[in-house]
Amino acid sequence: MKVTTPGSPAAVTLREPLIGIRAVDAHDADALRAFYASLSADTRRKRFLGTSSGIAAERSRAFCTPDHHHAEGFVAVLRAVGPRDGRVVGHLCLENDGAGGIELAIAVADGFQRHGIGRRLFEAARDWACAEGIARITATAFADNSPVLRLLTSAPMGATIRAADGGLVDIEIPLIEERVED
């Protein structure tokens, strides 16, 4: 894939193995803060559903210390790219939604969007949630955020989208087939 990153004079050609997906850990806090600070205002608006200049150190630490049973997080990280090795280029977090499911939020760096990174993060999230016995993933997005809506509705069992207030939609992604009793 060809990727142009802000401040780079030319596109960088990346092969899929150069982007690793892994669970977030406490050592990612500074890299995660830098990741959110580097996003365009529009990408941050879509991720946080409003204006944001990034995340504070405390929020970054919270994102990087999930309990791995009720909450989880994944990062997409550049590998073997020289001085930027280990740079976070995508983040997905999962938090208990208080209703038996898990809520998902995702962001991919502007120069790395539309190259399958979000899909790989979403697959990691679905795999983790299924292994934890979670029945569904929920998310909220702007109704006009077609890339994230396409991603979330691509789940194997589909998704339900319901209109919410303020131009938002609520998305529910089933992970376990509902059984109908006879």
User: Residue 74: how many CB atoms within 10 A of its CB?
Assistant: 24
83-93 per-residue burial string, b: 16 or more CB within 10 A, e: under 16: eeeebbbbbbb
Residue 136: what residue type? R
What domains sit in the chain, N to C, each tagged with a CATH number?
Answer: 17-174 (3.40.630.30)
With a CB cutoff of 8 Å and minimum separation 6, the contacts of 64 are 24, 25, 26, 27, 28, 29, 32, 73
pLDDT tens for residues 92-109? 999 988 888 899 999 999
Residue 4 pLDDT more than 50? no
pLDDT tens for residues 39-89? 999 999 999 888 776 776 676 667 777 776 668 999 999 876 554 457 899
Tally of residues, the chain: 182
Between 153 and 17, the higher pLDDT residue? 153
pLDDT of residue 85: 59
With a CB cutoff of 8 Å and minimum separation 6, the contacts of 83 are none
